[in-house]
Structure 1
């Protein structure tokens, strides 16, 4: 087991009606003014923003609002948010939405607190924020896990780059998680969430590391249960228990718990960021579904025993000891069939990716052929390109 630091400072308020207490929660931070950050009009039409405003007003908390966050949160709106906060004297950011809103809020909070640094430099890895504003979240979509993670992913539409960075400043002070707020999430976005949640843990499962059987057991439970809960959500969108289990899985899958003791880099996420960075209409979860199986087929021979464990413990495939590769291929095929069954794409063509863009995607992912992605099988430029080609032709 590798050395690790496990940090989960985010306080979670989970359950029905918890968003109505957000005013009292924020009052504990004694803010001068709050930025309420959100996405589209659904937050207003659902009545959620009205409830948030009333909760803040009941505590005498001043606020300003900024909407417009898109599925892949954009740097230009982050910059707009930073400028708004500076003009208005904002010292607390409240995200109302899914992972895109939360990530945009994190970047705004970091940008305001570090005014002498270009906020995009954080995403490029040129520097790390040393301080941030207090911030919290009211979650409306179970998917990204940003409510408890230390990560932030932003898209620069001027350069078609989607970049993520991790640091303790990205941790939310609190997260309000009411599963009822996800009842109206569309089947497609629910399915994208299923993929993203599971993938946060699946990718950690295949990062280098040995003798992590407790972490493995937790990871396997998260993977299996989110797929079950997700299917139940698709069958009955207002199934509270299913929505609750999916929402809690979202938080556990990406707060670091399911990777303790392993060297973590979410490799398929790195591949997908290039796809949705170039094709901004691509939903993150859909991009992951289109890529994962091809990546799996390319790398599994580097650690047969690890993949056999996954096949047996997650997909309940009996091990064929004479032909172990067939066992693994069966499990990968089962996962691919699961994606198809929930309406997810299983190749890049289905997302509208052009074959002529594959080399550029690989070039960007390898940072101009200078970066190698970690794993039992490391991926340099040529490997990354081959995975993209496999995912295109599958």
Structure 2
């Protein structure tokens, strides 16, 4: 039986001889690191290059029918993994080091592991947002499944695989952790998650085993719906108290430019431009008001626009019913009113506006700010 660590030591010796200053460290992960390797298991190992020349050390090979992939991970990518910005956090968290160029490299690597341990304790809302981003990607697969030709079973399986993969990653993030093992070996970890869809295993089995496109697509849709519900339920725990002065600084000064754009379009009778920006600016203003009130951004996976409640409670005009290509005057007047009302609404909540009467006053403000 092939001793994979003898092969690994051969690679390490080669690096020490020919790339001593070009490779920061070498490590292995996966089944051998977790103690679950079989006689057919390959050795998953990687290295972090210290120079551009170091990337040349990458090699893929097979010895005695066992495959080896000695692949590079840049420090930047390793940092993304440690920050849960890529799926393979386990590669950094659970690997064993085979070679380290210097103590400085070792300390830098151990710092990544500190991030992995500390971030879930410090950034609960961030993990919900990361989970949400992964789940948004699921909709791409669902859309593609909806457009498949009748009988294109292989493509359906492929898209369903994408749904399942991103859903599991999203679920791990929702539980502020990462998957330690690949599919098939991760069931116990999934069962231990405090937050998980009740039908997860049932739907996963249908997605992988069903014999019709319709069954697979419906299971993918139900799993996605269950995940959206979980995310929506988790968000309220992270809501904060209203805080306008710090969160809204500079907001009005920026959005006013869009108001002026719409007003000008209305005056020029340019309905396409006016309607496009009117729809967008109301949504943007509503989203920001939600953030100012709650300290978190609206749930973009939630159907409808419930987050616009703060916009309407502030008495701000609803622009969308006023969209009329034959008469832009009502829209024009509503945007003028929105400009005035929004500024007043923010000022009443302690937001200071940077408004100046001419360049001289602005110059004075800049000088005073430097001296402050």
Larger radius of gyration: 2
Query: If the TM-score is normalised by the length of the shorter chain, which range does it land in?
Result: under 0.3
Length-normalised TM-score, structure 1? 0.21
More helix by share: 2
Higher relative contact order (CA 8 A, sep 6+): 1
Length-normalised TM-score, structure 2? 0.22
